[in-house]
Amino acid sequence: NAGVTQTPKFQVLKTGQSMTLQCAQDMNHEYMSWYRQDPGMGLRLIHYSVGAGITDQGEVPNGYNVSRSTTEDFPLRLLSAAPSQTSVYFCASSYRRISEAFFGQGTRLTVV
């Protein structure tokens, strides 16, 4: 098992560009989520999904879109990148609501 795989690991974008952060898990987990972590802060929930075709907003959803067409993949789209979106992004998955979550190693995004 690879666990939760995020790509790319590093990315630099110009303001206004769009991009998709990829997240894939091979554990057949129903629940997947995206977090961002700014320097010196904890993780903040952006969007989450409780199964294929079902997504919902977290604490800081503005500027991001998600979709869940398969159990394995949960991409995060930045529609028009802004410097305020410079952060480290983590994807997580878990089997049930109440179970341990597995996190990816993160994508470090810089918007200039």
Residues that bind other proteins (CB under 8 A): 4, 31, 33, 35, 40-45, 48, 50, 58-59, 88, 90, 92, 94, 97-98, 100-106
CB of 16 to other proteins, least distance (A): 27
Amino acid 67 reads: S
Distance between CA atoms of residues 33 and 94, nearest Å: 9
Nearer to other proteins, 16 or 51 (CB): 51
Long-range contacts of 50-58 (CB under 8 A, 24+ apart): 50/97, 58/33, 58/34
CB of 31 to other proteins, least distance (A): 5
Nearer to other proteins, 92 or 111 (CB): 92
CA distances from 30 to 17, 21, 25, 50, 99 (A): 31, 19, 10, 6, 11
Nearer to other proteins, 62 or 100 (CB): 100
